[in-house]
């Protein structure tokens, strides 16, 4: 029986963060599940097309990866999503898996980072490993992507767990609530003078380099213009070993449920 794993993420066109945040997880999964053929898929066709035209790097969509495995005679396939929330992108993955469900003896999908309560607690525990030492007047700002999908509520749930842990950290998003402007009054009320900016995304790609830490209209420049002292932690979640552990556990859970 041929067994395979597909590690699927949004993808990135930035080579270094792809190596550190996506390939590192793929390699850990390949080591952990050595009897499985581990493959990659991206959900962003924009990223796939750019990598093909710019770097001659070919990456499959999930549908293409599943089709190839079917043609090659795989019987048992597990898919692990590296998405952060169960939003639209993850919903598309679920639908693709549903379409292929009857084409394999076993086909299962591992949940994204933030799904169950224990996922949030494990994620915050993992974040503690990269947060600076707590200091009065200093806070961490975590930038998530944000979405108009109901899954945007995941960020508020994450903030609640952070608050429960007594951490001086604030979660914001690029594309929905809460934005930086929603966080600023809270920083001033708490008499925060220093801010450490961290991407709460799998990779430190375009959003991290431009919206978080860019030279124009970024969180960094807005905060500095408002008198804050700012540091930037330019590392994606995929570099954090404990976050990697969560994804691997989700894959194990998917296998156990079959």
Catalytic center residues: 145
Alpha-carbon span 232 to 238, nearest angstrom: 17
CA angle 130, 243, 167 (to 5 degrees): 45
Q: Is 145 annotated as a binding residue?
A: yes
Residue 27, judged by CB atoms within 10 A of its CB (0-12, 13-18, 19+), counts as middle
What are the residues facing 2 on neighbouring strands? 74
Torsion angle of C-alpha atoms 170, 173, 177, 180, degrees rounded to 10: 60
- For residue 55, what are the contacts with CB-CB under 8 A and spacing of at least 6? 15
Alpha-carbon span 21 to 201, nearest angstrom: 10
Residue in 25, 59, 61, 26 with CA at minimum distance from that of residue 43: 61
Q: Is 216 annotated as a binding residue?
A: no
What are the residues facing 78 on neighbouring strands? 5, 108
Residue in 157, 75, 149, 151 with CA at minimum distance from that of residue 111: 151
Cis check: omega of the bond before 156, within 30 degrees of 0:
no
Q: Is 26 annotated as a binding residue?
A: no
- For residue 216, what are the contacts with CB-CB under 8 A and spacing of at least 6? none
Residue 212 contacts residue 232 (beta carbons within 8 Å): yes
Residues within the annotated binding site for Co(2+)? 145, 175, 207
Binding residues: 145, 175, 207
């Amino acid at each position: 029986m041929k067994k395979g794993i597909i590690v699927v993420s949004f993808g990135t066109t930035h080579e270094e963060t792809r190596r550190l945040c996506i390939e590192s997880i793929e390699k850990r999964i390949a080591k952990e599940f050595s009897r499985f053929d581990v493959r990659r898929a991206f959900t962003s066709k924009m990223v796939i097309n750019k990598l093909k035209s710019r770097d001659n790097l070919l990456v499959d969509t999930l549908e293409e990866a599943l089709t190839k495995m079917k043609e090659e005679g795989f019987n048992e396939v597990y898919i692990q999503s590296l998405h952060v929330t169960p939003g639209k992108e993850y919903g598309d993955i679920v639908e693709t898996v549903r379409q292929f469900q009857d084409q394999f003896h076993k086909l299962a999908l591992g949940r994204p980072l933030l799904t169950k309560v224990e996922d949030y607690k494990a994620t915050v525990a993992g974040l503690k490993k990269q947060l600076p030492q707590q200091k009065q007047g200093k806070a961490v700002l975590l930038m998530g992507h944000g979405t108009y999908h109901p899954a945007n509520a995941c960020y508020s749930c994450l903030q609640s767990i952070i608050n429960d842990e007594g951490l001086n950290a604030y979660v914001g998003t690029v594309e929905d609530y809460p934005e930086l402007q929603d966080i600023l009054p809270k920083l001033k009320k708490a008499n925060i003078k220093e801010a450490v900016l961290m991407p709460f995304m799998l990779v430190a790609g375009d959003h991290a380099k431009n919206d978080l830490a860019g030279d124009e209209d970024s969180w960094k420049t807005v905060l500095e213009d408002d008198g804050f002292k700012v540091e930037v932690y330019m590392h994606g979640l995929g570099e954090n070993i404990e976050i990697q552990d969560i994804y691997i556990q989700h894959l194990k859970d998917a296998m156990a449920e079959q």
